[in-house]
Amino acid sequence: MADAPTAAHPASPKPGKTIDELAAHIGGTVIGDGHRLIFRCRSLEAAGPNDVSFVSNPKYLNLLTSTTAGCVIVDARLEHQKIQRDGKPLNMIQVADAYYGFRQIMLLIHGMRRHPEPMISPLADVAPSAKLGVGCYIGPFVTIGENTMIGDGCVIYPGVQIMADVVMDADCVLYPNVVVYDSCRLGKRVIAQSGAVIGCDGYGFATHNGVHHKIPQIGNVILHDDTEVGANTVIERAAMESTEIDAGTKLGNNVVIGHNCRIGKHNLLVSQVGIAGSASTGNYVVLAGQVGVAGHIHIGDKVRAAAQAGISSDLAPGQDVGGTPAMELKQAKRVYLQLYQLPEIARRLRAAEAALAKLSDTPAAEAPVKS
C-alpha cells in the first residue's frame, strides 16, 4: 500500500504514477518493482518510499546506498547490479539522460507553476493607447505605457512597470516588480524573474575637460523567444542599435549585460556573470558563476568558462577556459595548483639562497619579511 502524504510533505497535485508508467513516459528501463506508486519528486536525501529522485552527477552516486527513495532515475550506463540498499535492490529507471528524464517526470507529476486566471486588475494603470491580447493577467499596480502591445496569454504580476512603445509577444511571464524600459522587444514565452530590469540606459559617458557627460542611449533591448532573465538581472539598452539576447538563452540572477552586447542562442549565463559593453557570444556558450567578460570581444560557439574566470580577449569556438586572465582549463588548474605551493617554494628558495651565499663566502641577501 502506498504511504499517505504527511503534513510536512504535502500531496502532489496529481494522482500517483507507477514506476512502469514513469519509465514509459521517458523511454527508460525499469530495474526493480515497476508497480510501486510514486506521488512526488524529492532529493535523494529527503525522498521516501513513494518519492522519485535522480542522480546524474557521479559525485552523488554514493547516496544511492543510503537513500530511501522509492525510485531513482539514473544514467543508462550505471552498473545497477552493484547498487544495494540495506541488502535490498534499489528501484531504478535507467535512461540515456537522467537529468532531462527527471525533468520530464517533474512536469508529469507536478507541472509548472500555476498562474492566476486571466483578468485586468482595476488597480492596474493601462494607457489608453496600449493594446492587450486575449487571455492576459494584469495584476494590481501594474503600469503599461502608451502604444505598448501585449500579446495573448501574457502574465504580468503586481508592480511590473512597462514603459511606452514596448512590444511583447504571446505567453510571456513578468514576475513582480520587473521593469521594461521604452521601445524594448520581447519575443514569445519570455520569462523575467522579480526585479529584473530590461532596457535601462547603458553606461555611456564622454569625458571632456575632466567632466563626464552622459551620452543619450537611443537603442533598445531585444529578447528573442524562450529567453529567461533571472531575478535582479540588468540588461542595458544599446547606445544606438540593439542589445540582443538570442533565442533560448537563460540568464541567472544578478547578471549584468552591458550596452550593445549580442548574446547568441541557447547560452547559459549563471548568476553574477558580468559582460561589458559591445561584447558578443556565439551559440551554446556556458559562463559559470561570477565570470567577467571584457568589452568589445567575441566568445565563440560552445565555449565553457569556469566560475570566476576573467575573459579579456577573443576565444575561439569549443574552448574550456578558467582563471584570470582566462586560459585553457587544464593549464589554469596547473597554475592555481602551484599557488597553493608558493609558501613552501619561497621557503625552499630562501634556504637555497642562504646555502649558496655560504658556499660563495658572501653575505646572504636579506630574506623577505614574513607575512
Catalytic residue annotation: 259
| Run of H or E residues at 44 | none
User: What does each C-alpha distance from 42 to 60, 68, 72, 114, 228 come to in angstroms?
Assistant: 15, 11, 10, 19, 25
Count other C-beta atoms under 10 Å from residue 276's C-beta: 20
User: Which amino acid does the sequence have at 10?
Assistant: P
Non-local CB neighbours of 340 within 8 Å, separated by 6+ positions: none
Count other C-beta atoms under 10 Å from residue 176's C-beta: 15
- In 194-337, DSSP assigns E strands to 197-200, 205-208, 211-214, 220-223, 228-229, 234-236, 242-245, 250-251, 256-257, 262-263, 268-269, 274-275, 280-281, 286-287, 292-293, 298-299, 304-305, 310-311, 320-322, 327-328
| Contact of 29 with 23, CB cutoff 8 Å | yes
**87 — alpha (psi -120 to 50), left (phi > 0) or beta?**
left
| Run of H or E residues at 131 | strand 131-132
| Run of H or E residues at 33 | none
Report the SS3 class of residue 95. Answer: strand
Cell of 121: 486588475
165: which strand partners?
Answer: none
| Overall size of the chain counted in residues | 371
| 18 CB burial (10 A radius; 0-12, 13-18, 19+) | middle
| Contact of 105 with 26, CB cutoff 8 Å | yes
